[in-house]
Structure 1
Amino acid sequence: MSKKSRFYEVTYRDGHGDHPTLFPAQSEADLSQKLKFPRTVKHVETRHAGWLPVAVEANEHLDGVEFRVTHKGTETTISKDSLGYDHLIKLFAKDVAVLQRDLDEHNAPDA
């Protein structure tokens, strides 16, 4: 099941050039409070990327949930350790619960 979430494209610069990175967030202000850059990285800009379709899927180990979104031809995976993961867990709580139940059944030991 696919629904949409608000995303922001954050561009940062390091010694290897500019790196646009996609993050889900409730608002730009919410995202900016959570973004932390090391001293060797410069924040260039944050732009609203729009409301993008999000797929709720099982991770590769079939023991957790991750999210996939495609923007400008590039697929981004938001996993447990990614910034914005908690936002998507709350936003897609119903879909996550259904998938988690299916994963629990799949991973249950045989009786």
Structure 2
Amino acid sequence: MATKARFYEVERQNGHETQSAIIAAPSREQIESTLNTKDIKVNKVKFLGWAPVTARPDECEIRHEFNARVNGQEVTIHAQTPGFDYLNQQFPAEVQDVISFLNESK
């Protein structure tokens, strides 16, 4: 059972601004193929290392999200965040535990 996931610092640019984010992904190639679009260009991808990940209920206790501390920075990955599908694949048992908890508390 996995306890850690790979994290990258990703710099993206659209027509107006450049943004930097920490993203969970299995590889640099996956980031580039997923995030490069006609409107957004990935400028830089830097591997930050492996970090422990936990699954937990979101603020509203409706869905699950993931939490990690990467290079001292707290990172939350939810359904609308790049890397969410990767973490679902990496941590299926933890996700199921959170879903079971959410179903029981309804």
Give ranges in structure 1 of 5+ residues lacking alignment: none
Q: How far 1:9 sits from its partner (Å)? A: 0.7
After the TM superposition, which of the residue ranges 54-63 and 64-73 deviates more from structure 2?
64-73
Q: Residues 38 and 77 (structure 1 numbering): CA distance in 2 closer, same or farther, change over 3 Å?
A: farther
Is the Cα contact below 8 Å between 2:23 and 2:82 reproduced in 1? yes
Q: Are 1:6 and 2:10 matched, yes or no?
A: no
What's the TM-score, normalizing by structure 1? 0.80
Q: State the number of aligned residues.
A: 104
- The answer for the alignment partner of 2:44 in structure 1 is 45
- The answer for the alignment partner of 1:106 in structure 2 is 105
Q: Which string of whole-angstrom CA distances, capped at 9 and with x for unpartnered residues, describes residues 24-63 of structure 1? A: 1111111111113674x65331101100111211001111
What's the TM-score, normalizing by structure 2? 0.84
Q: Output the amino acid matched with 1:98.
A: D
Is the Cα contact below 8 Å between 2:12 and 2:41 reproduced in 1? yes
- The answer for the alignment partner of 1:72 in structure 2 is 71
Q: Are 1:59 and 2:58 matched, yes or no?
A: yes
Is the Cα contact below 8 Å between 2:7 and 2:70 reproduced in 1? no
- The answer for the alignment partner of 2:24 in structure 1 is 24
Q: Output the amino acid matched with 2:11.
A: T
Q: Residues 90 and 42 (structure 1 numbering): CA distance in 2 closer, same or farther, change over 3 Å?
A: closer
Q: What's the C-alpha RMSD, in Å, of the aligned pairs?
A: 2.0
Take 2:13 and 2:30, find their aligned partners in 1: how far apart are those partners?
21
Take 1:22 and 1:38, find their aligned partners in 2: how far apart are those partners?
21
- From the CA coordinates, give the structure whose radius of gyration is larger: 1
Q: Following TM superposition, where does structure 1 have runs of at least 4 consecutive aligned residues deviating by more than 4 angstroms?
A: 13-16
Q: Residues 37 and 69 (structure 1 numbering): CA distance in 2 closer, same or farther, change over 3 Å?
A: farther
Identical counterparts, % of pairs: 27
Is the Cα contact below 8 Å between 2:48 and 2:71 reproduced in 1? no
**Which secondary structure does the structure 1 equivalent of 2:3 belong to?**
strand
